[in-house]
Amino acid sequence: MKNRGAMMFLAGLLGALAVGWIGFPRLLYRNEAQPMQFSHSVHTGENVGMACADCHAFNEDGRFTGIPAVAKCAECHSAQLGETESEKQLVEEYVTPNREIPWLVYARQPENVYFSHAPHVQLAALSCERCHGPHGGSENLRPLQRNRVSGYSRDIWGPRMTRISNKPWEGMKMNDCSRCHRERNVQESCLDCHK
Ligand code: HEC
Ligand code: HEC
Ligand code: HEC
Ligand code: HEC
Ligand code: HEC
């Protein structure tokens, strides 16, 4: 009888853990869809053959331009080239009325963090993949998962609650920045990264 009670307790505990483990992330994060679909692979693949820097360039003053403005898209999409729904949306909702596309940024850091691409890409010659994974070859855009409490993108923490066996680009917490700086002997102080 005593054993049976213990078994029931254990089964209940495991059940609760499983529900928490699977259910907690669903409760913690809210899915937000991108304003439209976009395929990196169509543009960076053989047919169109664009380089990353054709859309993600550095200004003359060394500032990273980030996501291209709709004027860049208009160079080729002033009228529809193909038949896809997403391209139709691009032309009708954004290019023709000349409206910017309100993209959501998966890697967005909190307001109080200062990050600049120039030292990382131009001086340290790090690849985009080191910090962004395979996004540059992606076929479609997943929803951004926003933490309901902090408002941060899930990509800051990374996909696994435990953060065990993360790939190098999975997660960009303060420790992840500093680990790489330590490995490469980069001197850092609080005010280098915090405004
Ligand atoms: C035709 C223009 C174009 C080209 C070429 C292009 N991108 Fe993009 N990129 C975009 C647009 C538009 C977005 C915003 C939508 C999105 O997140 O994909 C973006 C977003 C990104 C992001 C931001 C992800 C985030 O955190 O939100 C990364 C990283 C990125 N691109 C990497 C690359 C890499 C690497 C290449 C080259 C292999 C590349 N891109 C080539 C247009 C382009
Ligand atoms: C150098 C020319 C060029 C530029 C610049 C360009 N595209 Fe394209 N894009 C193409 C071509 C070619 C296709 C393939 C057309 C087809 O057959 O569907 C395409 C396809 C697309 C499609 C439909 C396929 C898909 O799901 O991605 C979308 C949406 C799109 N582009 C969005 C954009 C956006 C947004 C920008 C600006 C950030 C942009 N493009 C910039 C040439 C370009
Ligand atoms: C050392 C890590 C690192 C490397 C290398 C890196 N990025 Fe980023 N990227 C980030 C971080 C962190 C953010 C978020 C910045 C913020 O929120 O202030 C970001 C944001 C972005 C964005 C969103 C717009 C913006 O400027 O905030 C794009 C687009 C992007 N990166 C593209 C690229 C491309 C293309 C490359 C390769 C040429 C690259 N990144 C290399 C860490 C990196
Ligand atoms: C994969 C390695 C790597 C990651 C991840 C990384 N950095 Fe860096 N960072 C570097 C290197 C290397 C330099 C030095 C570049 C140079 O000056 O040659 C640097 C320089 C800097 C600098 C300039 C200050 C200085 O002392 O040179 C700042 C600020 C900075 N990083 C902030 C960040 C932040 C914030 C993050 C996380 C969001 C981050 N870095 C993630 C490698 C990295
Ligand atoms: C290499 C860049 C870097 C340096 C140096 C750095 N930080 Fe941060 N810090 C970050 C980033 C990125 C975040 C946001 C991601 C996160 O929450 O870990 C952050 C977040 C924080 C937070 C908020 C924590 C939270 O969970 O919301 C505090 C507080 C903080 N930093 C304090 C400091 C102090 C104090 C120092 C100096 C001892 C320092 N940081 C040095 C990059 C840095």
Half-sphere exposure in the Cβ direction for 74 (13 Å, CA): 13
Tell me, in angstroms, the distance from the centre of ligand 1 to residue 13's CA. 44
Q: Is any ligand 4 atom within 6 A of the Cβ of residue 156?
A: no
Do residues 173 and 134 touch, judged by C-beta distance below 8 A?
A: no
CB of 128 within 8 A of CB of 52?
A: yes
Atom of ligand 3 nearest to the CA of 65: 26
Q: Tell me, what's the pLDDT at 131? A: 98
Which ligand 3 atom is the nearest neighbour of the CA of 136? 35
Least confident of 14-28, 88-102, 159-173: 14-28
Average pLDDT over residues 158-170: 92
Which amino acid is present at 181? H
Average pLDDT over residues 150-171: 94
pLDDT at res. 24: 74
Question: Is the C-beta atom of 177 inside 6 A of ligand 4?
Answer: yes
Query: For a substitution probing ligand 1, which of 32, 40, 170 has the most ligand atoms within 8 Å of its CB?
Result: 40
Q: State both tokens at 88.
A: 């139709």
More confident residue, 118 or 25: 118
Question: How far is residue 173 CA from its own chain's centroid?
Answer: 13
pLDDT, residue 18, reads: 75
Q: Which of 73, 55, 69 is nearest to 100 (CA)?
A: 69
- Confirm if 163 and 171 have CB atoms less than 8 A apart: yes
CA distance linking residue 172 with residue 178, whole number of Å: 10
Give me ligand 2 centre to Cα 158, in Å: 29
How confident is the model over 117-158, as pLDDT tens digits? 999 999 999 999 999 999 999 999 999 999 999 999 999 999
Measured in angstroms, how far is the CA atom of residue 100 from the centroid of ligand 2? 16
Region 28-40 average pLDDT: 97
Q: What is the pLDDT of residue 25?
A: 75
Residue 132 · residue 67 · CB < 8 Å: no
pLDDT(91) > 90: yes
User: What is the predicted pLDDT for the residue at 17?
Assistant: 77
Instruction: Please give the model's pTM, rounded to 2 decimal places.
Output: 0.94
The identity of residue 2, as a single letter, is K
pLDDT of residue 9: 86
pLDDT, position 1: 55
* Per-residue model confidence as pLDDT tens digits over 53-81: 999 999 999 899 999 999 999 999 999 99
Q: Could you tell me if the CB of 35 is within 6 A of ligand 1? A: no
Alpha carbons 171 and 179: distance in angstroms, whole number: 12
Report the percentage of the chain scoring pLDDT > 90.
83
C-alpha 119, offset from chain centre: 20
- The first and second tokens of residue 66, run together, are 């980030």
- What distance in angstroms lies between residue 189's CA and the mean position of ligand 1's atoms? 30
